[in-house]
Chain A
Amino acid sequence: MSTSPRKRPAPDALVAGLVVVILIALVAAVFLTGWGSSLYPPNAATAEAHDVRGLYDIVFAFALAIFVVVEALIIWSVLRYRRKPSDTALPAQTHGNNLVEVIWTVIPTAIVLFLFVISWQTLNRISTVSATPDIRIHAIAGQFQWQFEYLDASGTKVATQLAPLYDVATGEGGMAVPAGETVQVTLDSPDVIHAFYVPRFLFKRDVVPGQTNKFEFTVDASEAGQVFRGQCAELCGTGHRRMLFSVIALSPADYDTWLTALIVKANATPAPLPSGTTLNVVAEGVKYDIAQLEVPADAPFAIAFTNKDPAGLTHDIDIRDSNGTVVANQEVVNGGTSANYVYEPLPAGTYTFFCSIHANMTGTLTVK
């Protein structure tokens, strides 16, 4: 018979051992030098996110340990047991071993049961919904725009934020929340499924038409002044990637000021229509009722715009010139409401009027 595998010449074992050591050293180096930080979620910004992050760290530690052990076993086996010209006789024909089968069934079972239990505990903590949250926000995700209704303690709407993205230049837009206070969000969709996702909250929840999902979060008090990126995470059609929103953490005092301003703005009497040309445009079924508009050159004009689509589906009428430069940018109008848009005078020419939310809604504006 041949030499037993245990008495093979050493070089293969040395090489295999060396590669295994290099693997472990590489993994260690990746984490010691901070390169490994990209394998962790971004800094948690809410109380719930800290909890999830703690869980992630435990899951990740197990994952990394299992990865290193199994890859090391594979590398060792592959490099150590290369067939040599002298290997004419068969190696020992080991068919299995019940003891090791039991071991590598029981240990992984114990690990996954442990991970399941701590996941469940975390889940229970982050899923609690109180009857009396500090702040209530009703988020409506329609194709392809978020809007945030601010509710009072009784659940009555006090103001609506129709501009979901924070604009650094004007300081307007976005969903403001007071840092350190519990915010309860209810989610509704008038059309398809969307998902409310803020990476730094380590959380997302689907916005499902026909059902109202609810969750709570508390932004860390230390995050006041921060703006968090949010985005729809469930494919919702052509405008999916443009369904962005911002969550702005404010100190409770700043938040009160912000909300008051929003209420004032919501209750402001709409600007009266200027004398001169006023056109009527209706949007229904994600279409304008008119494809051609005509206004005189170098004179202000207005459009009385009615959005007959369901609430949650927003439209507007912006204007771009023949070069594609946007020359008029109006605020969106929610479904079921109307607004008077006033436009600055335009030089003669051919323009396109369009909805900034729905790329298919366009028409021609002739100025002469």
Chain B
Amino acid sequence: MATHALTPAASTYRRGRLYDWLTTTDHKKIGIMYVINSFVFFLIGGVLALVVRTELAQPGLQFLRDEHVYNEMFTMHATIMIFVFVIPMLAGLGNYIVPLMIGAPDMAFPRINALSLWMLPLAGILLISSFFTGGTAAAGWTSYPPLSLDGPLNSPGSGQDLWIVSLILIGTSSILGSINFLVTIFKMRAPGMTLFRMPIMVWTVLVTSVLVLMATPVITSALVMLFIDRNYGGHFFDPFGGGSAILYQNIFWFYSHPAVYVMILPAMGVISEVLPVFSRKPLFGYKAFIFATAAIGALGFSVWAHHMFTTGSVFLPFFSLLTFLIAVPTGVKMFNWVFTMFRGQLTFSTPLIFAIGFLTMFLIGGINGAFSASVPVDFALHDTYWVVAHIHYVLFGGSVFGIFAGLYYWFPKMFGRMLDEGLGKLHFVIMFVGFNLTFFPMHQLGLEGMPRRIADYAGDAGWNDLNLLATVGGFLIATSILPFIWNVFVSIRNGKIAGDDPWEGNTLEWATTSPPPPYNFDSLPEIRSERPVFDARHGRAGH
């Protein structure tokens, strides 16, 4: 029987490019938009950091109008960097790469995925809008009551309320995203992709999603109670109305400490993909690494009160012990990474250089954290610039270096073109130097007694030189972003064509085209290990 084409042929419904991106449910486009949105907020948060550093370059209030504006600046800097940059940036990388890595055509719930994405710019805009509606939140990103309650010397105005609403929106986005990741990872893996053949990146997103799912509703409850206290006369956290100021800290940190692992585990996942590929060796101790990740996730829920050692309301030995113990699985990871490179054949492409930056700097962030696990030492260091140094060695030296390693690594997959290696290395060198100039002196400032969150310091306290150094470093970091932006701008159109597998990758995303088609894969290689593409390339030689 003859077949004949329908006339007229069913026309494909053509959407405008912008309309297509705005309405897409494709996890890759959503992932890229997550990344772009997060990067925009990274720039905004960075500018706020420069404002803070400029004010602190010299003693005296010379750059900002008054202390209140200063308090707004560091509050918004931290809030934006944590909630609208690092967490969503890593969620975005996960969104792009997890379905590809497990050989799935998309996330399990594509429309919910789009919802998770679009809540983020909305939340970010709400947060930023408080700049134009009478002032932002100014009680620190932790927003401890009673300071964050309503009152003439506390936090009057709508800024704090917008902050609460924005964080609840971001939290809801995170919860939806984590459910999506969990269902995708458990139900949509390609045949042969057993749990213990999943790439480490997928494992870290899995553990992260469990943390988000268990912890985020808890902070949401704290935020709702804070909102009620502020607006409807609740007294949950008002010590003069039968409430407890410390209760908020317990609930807040029950989320916000696991949130640190939400911000570092996927970055560790990126590093664990990059190091083996550029060393031409498998990850040393694959299973040990997974157990360490799970251990960090589990222990992460029992260390929250180490942020509260000086409150006088904490059972100190328990939280001290658990905080010390969490160093063990972290150390296991560090040794596994180093031994992955050991006796390998290293190619110093930009992703590997950022990964090495991660190793060297995150090590410091781990070590200086152990000081605070020792309660008496923490009594000296808590709420000083030492802590500011610590969080930045973890979240910048760790997370941000990991994020850039991931962006340089997967950019060719996302856009089909290579980023320029020279500009990438220039970016790294300036950022690495700037980072250490900014944050290393903060150890010394903290030891000498400079508290966090002060708009000014005495000129005779001996803190002038170190502060100036940190400010110079801050501007170097800002400078380092310029070659990156220029690199993306140029390479996205004129970069070298990447091909399917420019790095000789291990995992399934390198088995499809760059960029992948909307449905991801025409065919999959056999999955017999955690490195299916490596196996297909090298056959028996690889074992």
Contact = CB atoms under 8 A, between A and B. Distances in A.
A, B: real partners: yes
Query: Which of A66, A236, A240, A360 has the most CB atoms of chain B within a 10 A radius of its CB?
Result: A240
B309 to A, nearest CB: 9
Interface in B343-400: 343-348, 356, 359-360, 363-364, 367-368, 370-371, 373-377, 379-380, 382-384
Interface residues on B, range: 35 or more
Given A56-B377, A96-B285, A104 B280 contact: no
Interface string A65-98: 0110011011001100111100101111111110
A208 B311 CA distance: 7
Interface residues of A, number: 88
A91 B320 contact: no
Given A109-B328, A360-B152, A234 B377 contact: no
A93 B542 contact: yes
Nearest to A56: B377
A42 interface: yes
Contacts of A276: none
Nearest to B275: A77
B461 interface: yes
A63 interface: yes
Contacts of A244: 458
A165 B431 CA distance: 41
Given A83-B347, A204-B383, A205-B312, A67 B364 contact: yes
Interface stretch (B79-87, B441-449, B471-479): B441-449
A360 B157 CA distance: 15
A206 interface: yes
B341 interface: yes
Nearest to A214: B312
B337 to A, nearest CB: 8
Contacts of B538: 90
Contacts of B461: 229
Contacts of B195: none
Contacts of B279: 81, 91
Interface stretch (B139-147, B158-166, B410-418): B139-147
B240 A112 contact: no
A39 B346 contact: no
Contacts of A214: 312
B316 A143 contact: no
A359 B541 contact: no
Given A92-B343, A123-B317, 15 more contacts: A52-B379, A70-B338, A71-B360, A96-B284, A96-B286, A104-B332, A105-B328, A197-B451, A202-B376, A204-B310, A234-B383, A235-B144, A237-B71, A240-B67, A241-B455
11 contacts: A39-B444, A74-B363, A89-B541, A112-B324, A116-B373, A119-B373, A122-B374, A191-B153, A191-B154, A192-B144, A234-B144
Interface of A: 5, 38-42, 51-52, 55-56, 59-60, 63, 66-67, 70-71, 73-74, 77-78, 81-84, 87, 89-97, 100-101, 104-105, 108-109, 112-113, 115-116, 119-120, 122-123, 126, 143, 191-193, 195, 197, 199-200, 202-206, 208-211, 213-214, 229, 231-241, 244, 285-287, 358-360
